[in-house]
Amino acid sequence: MDIVRERLRSTFRWVGDRTDRGFQADVTGWWRDPLVVERIGRSLAGLFDGEQVNVVVGPESRGSLLGALVARELGVGLAEVRKDGEPLADSDRWWEVSSGPDYRDRHLRMGLRRSMLRAGDRALFVDDWIDTGAQTAACHALVEMSGARWVGAAVVVDAFDRPDLRRALRVRSLLHVRDLR
Ligand SMILES: O=P(O)(O)OC[C@H]1O[C@H](OP(=O)(O)OP(=O)(O)O)[C@H](O)[C@@H]1O
Ligand SMILES: Nc1ncnc2[nH]cnc12
């Protein structure tokens, strides 16, 4: 296992009791580790090495934090997807979809300003975690709606139990959730 994956494992913690409703993943230790901050953008970008990407799509908030690091590495920009967000001005044209139930059973309105994605763009989705896949699927729908191409989904932790959708969404990860147990 390389040093970035090792640090991701050692700075991660589960909070609460496994049988408890409050049992949660705490990834904040990642952001506090300078080595992770320095190298994670390159590691995530490397999951799609050799593929042409000209925009990174990152959902608020941890996806846009990581997305900015990946975009910096690739020399491209970031299209931030808001959750239950609104256009800032009535004149803003906005793409929006509703997600299926996510890991907290929420149906989120996910959206972004239309000018953030253009037909012909090649979009790489970035996030910290994929669980039900509902938010990733919603972002995929936004990318398709805009006419951009979906290159794939680069995530830190894969906790997705839908192999068919993993393939369809081209999900690649640095860790599987079982690496954190
Ligand atoms: O696979 P799913 O079940 O759709 O869940 C995955 C999403 O859930 C988490 O975000 P959350 O909405 O908790 O927001 P945060 O990044 O602001 O913590 C995570 O960062 C992913 O974006
Ligand atoms: N089980 C989980 N813990 C923390 N963040 C998540 N995002 C999606 N699923 C998650």
Query: Per-domain residue ranges for the chain?
Result: 3-180
Interior angle at CA 67, CA 65 and CA 114, nearest 5: 105
Q: Which DSSP state fits 176? A: E
Closest atom of ligand 1 relative to the 137 alpha carbon? 4
Both structure tokens of 38: 């320095």
150 phi, psi to nearest 5 deg: -90, 115
Closest atom of ligand 2 relative to the 128 alpha carbon? 7
- Its ipTM equals 0.94
Q: How far is the CA of 10 from the centre of ligand 1 (A)?
A: 21
Ligand 2: does its nearest atom lie under 6 Å from the Cβ of 131? Answer: yes
Q: CA 15 to CA 76: how far, in whole Å?
A: 35
Per-residue pLDDT of the chain (181 residues; tens, 9 = 90+): 799 999 999 999 999 988 888 889 999 999 999 999 999 999 999 999 999 999 999 999 999 999 999 999 999 999 999 999 999 998 999 999 999 999 999 999 999 999 999 999 999 999 999 999 999 999 999 999 999 999 999 999 999 999 999 999 999 999 999 999 8
- Topology, domain 3-180: Rossmann fold (3.40.50)
**Secondary structure element (H or E) that encloses residue 174, with its range:** strand 171-176
Ligand 2: does its nearest atom lie under 6 Å from the Cβ of 25? Answer: yes
β partners of residue 100: none
Q: Which of 99, 102, 136, 169 to mutate to test the pocket of ligand 1 (most atoms within 8 A of CB)?
A: 102
